[in-house]
Amino acid sequence: MTTTTTARAVIVTKPGDGSVLEVQDIEVTPPGAGEVQVEVAAAGVNFIDVYKRQGVYPTPTPFVLGEEGAGTVTALGDGVDGFSVGDHVAWAQAGGSEASVVNRRTDDLVPVPDGVDLETAAAAMLQGLTAHYLVTSTFPAKEGDIALVHAAAGGVGQLLVQLLTAKGVTVIATAGSEEKLEIARRRGAAHTIDYSSTQDLAAAVREAAGRGVDVVYDGVGKATFDASLGSLRPRGMLVLFGGASGQVPPFDLQRLNRAGSLFITRPTLAHYVQTRDELEWRAREVLGAIADGTLEVEIGGRYPFDEAAAAYDALEGRRTTGKVILVPTA
Ligand code: NDP
């Protein structure tokens, strides 16, 4: 393969809000050594894209947005082993994913098993790998534990609730509306709390749990941080994995002492897929659970690339449940 290919792509033209996104034709070179070319079936919409678009994670502009996707291998670069034209593949952490054709390093790819369609695979990768490492490695929750999960109707949230309840963990779920709480209950949450209308969230959690909880999985950040600390039992762990409401400002470490010798960690996916074996293990378990029906991924929004700005607007505006994906054409 020697010629370039034209692809449609979602481009960030300069740092800013959704209005800086443009959908343009770009030229894609043939795949380089160790790369394959992929016809993209769907790309996942994630908060990290928002942070990059805003310039919070500085990225030179213009750039193609998106970290995650799934599609079909159409061409192989030199030295590629273990992948063939026609394979279904997915990835979670490779920039420039919102294009109809992409070149991907094979190190970033995992195979999509039979029984998982490509849109679901794209929807499951980044949030699925995240939920997996949070419950198996960051705080390996076990039967009998009580966990608090914030934004439980969201992408990571719904997966967390399912993975935790499958382990015999009692889940207390929060969300911002009755409709979202109903989703959390369907996913297995034993108790639900609308944190948008609760005065003393920590007290409500403690009442539901009958004690302080063992772990809090908090991807909301600034708005929930104090209540998360206040919900924990002595020596409990706050897993602060995101800041959908804003980043938590610096705080006094003595608070951990006074509140009960608490633990706090701020994990990120890249550090939990450091080796090929670890990436393959987590992806196999997540995609395998989807294939056998034990893990469900809600695709709560599906937008063509041309409407990418609307997709991000919905995510940032708290109007989504489950996962939002982009597809090259409507
Ligand atoms: P979600 O689908 O959970 O969407 C975010 C949800 O957060 C909203 O739907 C909303 O739910 C809640 N929320 C509360 N306050 C706000 C606010 N001010 N603005 C926007 N949303 C708010 O998103 P994801 O599942 O994609 O991501 C969840 C979190 O996980 C994010 O912080 C993300 O950065 C983080 N993340 C971290 C990773 C890691 O490895 N550390 C990897 C992947 C994601 P409600 O209406 O119920 O309040």
> pLDDT tens digits for 51-73?
999 998 899 999 999 999 999 99
Average pLDDT over residues 298-325: 97
CATH of the domain at 102: 3.90.180.10
Is residue 319 situated within a structural domain? yes
What the block records as the tokens of 160 is 């967390």
Residues 168 and 92 in one domain: no
Total tally of structural domains belonging to the chain:
2
237 domain-assigned? yes
Alpha-carbon distance 6 to 39, whole Å?
Answer: 11
Ligand 1 site: residues with CB under 6 angstroms?
Answer: 46-47, 126-127, 130, 151, 153-157, 175-176, 180, 219-220, 223, 241-245, 267-269, 316, 318, 320
Can you list the alpha helix ranges (DSSP code H) found in the chain? 47-54, 118-133, 155-166, 178-187, 201-209, 225-231, 254-258, 276-291, 308-316
The CA-based dihedral angle spanning residues 5, 10, 14, 16, taken in that order and rounded to the nearest 10 degrees: -170
Is residue 130 situated within a structural domain?
A: no
> Would you say residue 329 has pLDDT above 90?
no
pLDDT of residue 1: 60
d(CA 213, ligand 1 centre) in Å:
21
> Do 55 and 156 reside in the same domain of the chain?
no
- Strand order across the 63-64 sheet: 21-28, 5-12, 63-64
User: What are the start-end ranges of the H helices in 145-264?
Assistant: 155-166, 178-187, 201-209, 225-231, 254-258
Q: Which two tokens stand for residue 36?
A: 């394959």
Stated as kind and residue range, the H or E segment containing 276 is helix 276-291
The partner residues of 27 in beta bridges, in order of sequence, read 6
Are residues 221 and 305 located together in one domain of the fold? no
Which two structure tokens, joined as six digits, stand for 89? Answer: 């593949």
Residue 76: pLDDT over 80: yes
Residues 257 and 306 in one domain: no
Q: Taking residues 282-299, what's their average pLDDT?
A: 98
pTM of the predicted structure, to 2 decimals: 0.97
Domain containing 172 equals 139-266
